[in-house]
Chain A
Amino acid sequence: MDIFYPLQLFSDWITFEIFNIEAGQRLGASVNFFVYAFLKIIFLILAVNYLMAIVRHYLPIERLRDFLASRKWYGADYFFAAVFGAITPFCSCSSIPLFVGFLGAGIPLGVTLSFLIVSPLVNQVAVVLFAGLFGWKIAILYVLSAVSLGMAGGFILSKFKLEKYVADYVWKIKNRQVEAENQKISFNKLQKKFWDEGFAMTQKITPYVLIGIAVGAGIHGFVPAGFFEKYITAENLFAVPIAAIAAVPMYANAVGVIPIMQSLVEKGIPLGTAMAFMMAVVGLSLPEALILKRAMKLKLLVYFFGVTTIDIIIIGYLFNAFI
């Protein structure tokens, strides 16, 4: 049985008893979907944010940097960087100090770029949303493809020998080794810290989830089933590249985009096309480019965006072909 069944009962009760909307109406479908999806997602996000607060406490980004810089990894570092990019929480404002800090510590450029590609694409909340709206199979496939995308992207970029297109000051920085202090904190205090952080994170993203689900719910109730099939089919080879490229100027975080994407898929947009769109909205954005411009010369920036866009298009095709 679905463990979220009680939530469905509760949503039915709110929609049909409290709001008194007749079953079978478009408005009812929208409201019901909204209440159910919202409760379920907030519940999952709260749980996962609590877990991530624990992870962040034991695995701060500085430790990861020291780990990657500690020895030669012969390629395994692409894998580590991509995986860590997926599990560390990311804010686009951190992309610059992170990029500079990694390079300053002697981590290769390609490996650093792998981290930067994956980081905005996968975060705990995005995974929960995928699982909650599309099921675990799609969520896992999504994470796997994003991690492979990051590894492949970073590896390909490393072959272009782009080091000279990193802003000159970056190479002059002497990284101060900051030993992560291991304070002894009592178990109870730690629990409180994790809970406080998890709750604060959930609070911060709730408005985005709300907007995303509201738009998704609107599409769910008001757009006729199969509406998009007339225009966008999996056979249309141009759909994926157009979706990816059209998304670059747009910027939103994964949290807001995924519920909308789910509703679009439900109404007939092929999953791979929707996913290419979502990945490009989240992973490639003009604001991020402007931030990165402070440490990358134009050519590196163009290569970085170019290779990532091509990778995203390939993932879109693969999902359309096999899922």
Chain B
Amino acid sequence: MKNRNTQIQVLGSGCPTCEKLFQLTKQAVGELDLKVEVEYVNDIQKIVEMGVMSVPALAINGKPVISGLLPDIEKIKEIIKELS
């Protein structure tokens, strides 16, 4: 794993879809065998300050990469692999 300090965050307002993305992302990280904690951010202020307005969103190293839709796990893995 190239970068051990990759930061992965799921941003959500606590709705079921956001929760689902959180679970999927954790699963993706597990399957990729990365030693990274996935953080769930539900502080609205923080979310908006990151420039995100539609949730659920996935941010890697503080940069939102997906927002407003729930991708499938393969897609999440692909993105994490590409950016970490």
A interface list, Cβ under 8 A from B = 56, 61-62, 65, 89, 91-94, 96-98, 100-102, 104, 169, 173-178, 197, 200-201, 204, 291, 294-295
- B-chain residues with CB within 8 Å of residue A291 when the two chains form the complex: 13-15
Smallest Cβ-Cβ distance to A176: which chain B residue: B51
- The 0/1 profile, CB within 8 Å of A marked 1, for residues 8-19 of chain B is 000111110110
Smallest Cβ-Cβ distance to B71: which chain A residue: A200
Contact B68 A100 (CB under 8 A): no
Query: Smallest Cβ distance from B50 to chain A, in angstroms?
Result: 7
List 14 A-B residue pairs with CB atoms under 8 Å apart, sorted by A's residue number.
A61-B53, A62-B53, A89-B68, A93-B14, A93-B56, A94-B53, A97-B44, A97-B54, A100-B45, A100-B48, A173-B48, A178-B50, A200-B72, A291-B15
Pick the contact of A175: B12, B18, B49, B64 (CB < 8 A). B49
Q: What 3 A-B pairs have minimum CB-CB distances, sorted nearest first?
A: A93-B15, A178-B51, A101-B53
Specify the main secondary structure of chain A where it touches its partner: helix
Specify the main secondary structure of chain B where it touches its partner: loop
- The 0/1 profile, CB within 8 Å of A marked 1, for residues 53-84 of chain B is 11110000000100011111000000000000
- B-chain residues with CB within 8 Å of residue A197 when the two chains form the complex: 69
B interface list, Cβ under 8 A from A = 11-15, 17-18, 44-45, 47-56, 64, 68-72
Contact B51 A177 (CB under 8 A): yes
- A-chain residues with CB within 8 Å of residue B53 when the two chains form the complex: 61-62, 65, 94, 97-98, 101-102
Contact B49 A96 (CB under 8 A): no
Pick the contact of A96: B44, B56, B69, B71 (CB < 8 A). B44
Query: Smallest Cβ distance from A87 to chain B, in angstroms?
Result: 14
Contact B54 A94 (CB under 8 A): yes
- A-chain residues with CB within 8 Å of residue B44 when the two chains form the complex: 96-97, 100, 294-295
Query: Smallest Cβ distance from B73 to chain A, in angstroms?
Result: 12
Complexed CA–CA distance, A22 and B70 (Å): 44
Smallest Cβ-Cβ distance to B16: which chain A residue: A93
- A-chain residues with CB within 8 Å of residue B70 when the two chains form the complex: 200, 204
Complexed CA–CA distance, A98 and B11 (Å): 13
- B-chain residues with CB within 8 Å of residue A204 when the two chains form the complex: 70
Complexed CA–CA distance, A94 and B12 (Å): 8
- A-chain residues with CB within 8 Å of residue B17 when the two chains form the complex: 91, 93
Known: A93-B17, A178-B64. A98 touches B69 (CB 8 A): no
Complexed CA–CA distance, A295 and B45 (Å): 10
Complexed CA–CA distance, A101 and B67 (Å): 14
Pick the most buried of A97, A169, A177: most chain B CB atoms within 10 A of its CB: A97
Known: A89-B68, A91-B15. A97 touches B49 (CB 8 A): no
Complexed CA–CA distance, A93 and B71 (Å): 16
- A-chain residues with CB within 8 Å of residue B48 when the two chains form the complex: 97, 100-101, 104, 173, 175
- B-chain residues with CB within 8 Å of residue A101 when the two chains form the complex: 48, 52-53
Known: A93-B15, A93-B17, A94-B13. A175 touches B68 (CB 8 A): no
Contact A176 B49 (CB under 8 A): yes
Smallest Cβ-Cβ distance to A56: which chain B residue: B68
- A-chain residues with CB within 8 Å of residue B54 when the two chains form the complex: 61, 91, 94, 97-98
Query: Smallest Cβ distance from A96 to chain B, in angstroms?
Result: 5
Contact A91 B49 (CB under 8 A): no
- B-chain residues with CB within 8 Å of residue A104 when the two chains form the complex: 48
- B-chain residues with CB within 8 Å of residue A62 when the two chains form the complex: 51, 53
Complexed CA–CA distance, A166 and B58 (Å): 27
Contact A96 B13 (CB under 8 A): yes
Query: Smallest Cβ distance from B61 to chain A, in angstroms?
Result: 14
Query: Smallest Cβ distance from B66 to chain A, in angstroms?
Result: 11
